[in-house]
């Protein structure tokens, strides 16, 4: 069993420009898991850099509103919406609301920095 308390997790800045708090990853969990879960937040008017990862992602919106581009399609996501991103898909999310955009990102197999490719500066 693993208990992860939000108050004890430091935020990091992701390479694509989002604030990340990683809850579960095989590197910080006693049990063998093959996925990672992170809470991400994006300030008003900001967008992540276009990127792709080798793994499959699921985004689950906790707060706010954003335009989420997956390959050539754009989807408007709001609180409690979710989206599946197939492996190696070009993607970014943009905060189009008046509050911070907060979402969970579930990655399987687990996110690794070397699997994340930033496609723009």
String of DSSP letters for 79-101: TT-EEEE-TT--EEEEE-SSS-E
Under a CB-based contact definition with an 8 Å cutoff, are residues 92 and 15 in contact?
no
Q: pLDDT tens across 9-58, in order? A: 888 888 888 888 888 777 766 667 889 999 999 999 999 999 999 999 99
Query: β-strands 56-63, 82-85: how paired?
Result: antiparallel
Q: Within a 10 A sphere around the Cβ of 19, how many other Cβ atoms?
A: 17
**Domain ranges across the chain:** 20-111
Superfamily per CATH, domain 20-111: Jelly Rolls (2.60.120.10)
- Decide: residue 111, CB within 10 A, 0-12 exposed, 13-18 middle, 19+ buried: buried
Least confident of 30-39, 79-88, 104-113: 30-39
Report the C-alpha gap between 57 and 82 in whole angstroms.
10
What integer pLDDT is reported at residue 76 of this predicted model? 97
What's the Rg (C-alpha) of the chain? 14
From the CB of residue 66, how many other CB atoms can be counted at a distance below 10 Å?
Answer: 25
Are 85 and 59 in contact, with CB atoms under 8 Å apart? yes
pLDDT at 47: 96
What per-residue confidence (pLDDT) applies to 72? 96
């Amino acid at each position: 069993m693993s208990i992860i308390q939000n108050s004890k997790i430091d935020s990091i800045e992701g390479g694509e420009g989002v604030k990340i708090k990683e809850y579960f990853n095989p590197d910080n969990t006693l049990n063998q898991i093959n996925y990672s879960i992170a809470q991400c937040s994006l300030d008003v008017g900001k967008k992540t850099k276009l990127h792709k990862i080798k793994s499959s992602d699921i985004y689950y919106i906790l707060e706010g509103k954003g335009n989420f581009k997956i390959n050539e399609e754009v989807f408007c996501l709001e609180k409690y919406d979710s989206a599946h991103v197939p492996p190696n898909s070009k993607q970014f999310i943009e905060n189009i609301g008046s509050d911070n955009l907060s979402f969970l990102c579930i990655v399987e197999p687990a996110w690794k920095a070397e699997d994340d490719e930033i496609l723009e500066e």
